Amino acid sequence: MGIFKKFFDKLKYTFKRTELNDDFYDELESILISSDMGVETAMDIMDELRDVCKKKLIKDVERAQIELKQLLIDKLNVQPVEFDYPMIITVVGVNGVGKTTSIAKMTKYFLNKKKNVILAAGDTFRAAATEQLSNWAEKLKVKIIKQGEGADSAAVVFDAISSMKAKNNDVLIVDTAGRLHTKTNLMKELEKINNIINREYPEAKKMNLIVLDASIGQNSIAQVKAFKDSVNIDGIILTKLDGTSKGGVVYPIINELHVPIIFTGFGEGVDDLDVFDAENFVNKILM
């Protein structure tokens, strides 16, 4: 259940409180802030909610809940994403955020759309990463291009593009290493991968997506900034939204970084992925 629904249900059913008062606004404000929405956004939403309730002469908790929901949706200001094919998605992110699982989920998403998908095991730094991705490829019955541990990841991507073109695949998803402690090498590697993709398949639509773990809240902003210094980031896959009360972090991500959220992950299963949609997100995670 979403964090705001919990709050409203408590007011309505436990306290049987139905009227708006200062306690209501104070408590709501602290929930907004604890959701990692950022103080500025939280303050804005509070001001707007007070205004709208005053204007519309709203005095009850139930109607305030409806107004809050609309404000939360409006503030996200999401443009629907368009996928064009052939498309090459390069997935970056720090180890452990859910990169491999997200690649599997996206594969399933595009397979459901009747697209041909091929994977490139570009994280050649860890043998386990290639193995984990290969297991998913087998389960999902898609081709994976891989080489041994320590291989040049750009060479893996080169091979994957050749195979993609030969087989007329619609989507290539490239996994990359996530070892941020060797940042300079990693960023050079990502640049090289991007160069290969641009050189070998200029007609393909390209998307660099960063995977972020929502449960780490505002720290994810720093991760985007670290990658953005070297590679272009077109969008975000926000994972682990299940069981976190930090869903509000989407607000600073959208407002401060101006990078769109493309997918959200809310579980370990291969179907636990949504294309980001403001209303659906607010309903599912916040309300």
**Contact flags string 31-60 toward ligand GDP, x per CB under 6 A:** ------------------------------
Shortest Å, Cβ 3 to ligand GDP: 17
Shortest Å, Cβ 205 to ligand GDP: 24
Q: Could you give the CA distance from residue 194 to residue 207 in angstroms, rounded to a whole number?
A: 10
Shortest Å, Cβ 122 to ligand GDP: 12
Q: Could you give the CA distance from residue 189 to residue 233 in angstroms, rounded to a whole number?
A: 15
Give how far Cα 282 sits from Cα of 88, 209, 266, Å: 29, 22, 13
Shortest Å, Cβ 244 to ligand GDP: 9
Name which of 70 and 283 has its Cβ closer to ligand GDP: 283
Residues in region 118-147 near ligand GDP by CB under 6 A: none
Residues in region 61-120 near ligand GDP by CB under 6 A: 93, 95-101
* Beta-carbon count within 10 A of 16 CB: 7
Q: Could you give the CA distance from residue 43 to residue 32 in angstroms, rounded to a whole number?
A: 9
Q: How many residues bind ligand GDP (CB under 6 A)?
A: 17
Residue 5: its H or E element: helix 3-9
Q: Could you give the CA distance from residue 196 to residue 175 in angstroms, rounded to a whole number?
A: 14
Tokens 């070998």, residue located = 200
Residues in region 216-245 near ligand GDP by CB under 6 A: 239-240, 242
Residues in region 165-194 near ligand GDP by CB under 6 A: 178
Residue 193 has phi, psi (to 5 degrees) of -60, -45
Shortest Å, Cβ 185 to ligand GDP: 18
Indicate the SS3 state at residue 116: coil
Which residues partner with 174 through β-bridges?
90, 120
Shortest Å, Cβ 175 to ligand GDP: 8
Tokens of 272: 């636990």
**Contact flags string 259-278 toward ligand GDP, x per CB under 6 A:** ------xxxx---x------
Binding site for ligand GDP (CB under 6 A): 93, 95-101, 178, 239-240, 242, 265-268, 272
